[in-house]
Amino acid sequence: MKKSILLTGGSGMVGSNVRDHLQANYTLYAPSHTELDLLDRQALKQYLQSHPVEMIIHTAGAVGGIHTNMKYMAQFLVENWNMGQNVVLSAREAGITKLINLGSSCMYPKEWRRPLLEEDILTGALEPTNEGYAIAKSAVARLCSYLQREDPRYHYKTIIPCNLYGKYDSFHPEKSHLIPAIIHKLHWAVKRGDQEVTIWGDGQARRESLYAGDLAQCINQTITRFETLPEILNVGVGHDRPIDEYYRAAAKVIGFHGRFRHDLSRPSGVARKLVDVSKAQQWGWEATTKIEEGIATTYEYYLTQPIAQ
């Protein structure tokens, strides 16, 4: 009999990639927001009572790029915390002993230059541009840890991916993260015949980017090797590159041959954010998708979306 799994955020980028990887081998419940509002604790309780859920993978969240994070900081804090605590506490009340919580590398201190260890969470000041989101994610991860320590029967674990991109991403300028934003910007620059594209900041801030399909494969592996999964696990590619380099890689894929200009009046974000993936490697997982391959696949998906027309 197939294992029954509740996947929250099943229509989002991460959730959609997870569905691609899991739906053939598991009984997957992935209700839409209209079918199940995670901000409604009573509705969630009733859903778990009426479905034979054995495990929860919590990927749902209010997310956005740097612009949206700055504009809606209070909303991102409140909604992500409320969703997270509702899912985790409802799982415990329902007696569901296995849960994977999706964290974020923005949970880490902003000023650290070395690769970030899982133990570094809540040891320094957060990046101001996404502080609300980071506080909520950190609190939910701590809640999972506390419940597991209080009762070892409840294995509630957190995976912390680095920056993500890939199929099913949001390409809207106000909601997108780095790579989808670059793809959208360069696509339209080519379409209009622009000879110049503007990059926020100096382009030297370094970012680590993981193809979402690789994260989905990792989550698939957590199900089959759940008992050996650490309580908190970084998931990334193990190296970073300057934002300028992402622009150059995407320009090659999309066919933009113009020049880049840096707008120094705009924020660059944190200077560096690279997660240490040594625990993941020891556990037996590594990313396999190269950046050029990932951008090309993501661009192919983008071309099917109305925003690209």
| Alpha carbons 6 and 47: distance in angstroms, whole number | 10
| Alpha carbons 173 and 249: distance in angstroms, whole number | 19
Contact 200, 268 (CB under 8 A): yes
Going by C-alpha positions, the residue among 302, 119, 102 that lies closest to residue 215 is 102
**Residue-by-residue DSSP string for 167-225:** TT----TTT--HHHHHHHHHHHHHHHT-SEEEEETTS--EE-EEEHHHHHHHHHHHHHT
Strands 206-207, 241-242: pairing is antiparallel
251 φ, ψ (degrees, to nearest 5): -60, -40
108 in active site: no
| Alpha carbons 32 and 9: distance in angstroms, whole number | 7
175 φ, ψ (degrees, to nearest 5): -120, -15
160 - beta bridge partners?
A: 234
CA atoms within 13 A on the CB side of 234: 28
Residues composing the chain: 309
Strands 98-102, 27-29: pairing is unpaired
Which of the residues 26, 47, 133, 299 is marked catalytic?
Answer: 133
Q: Annotated catalytic sites, by residue?
A: 133
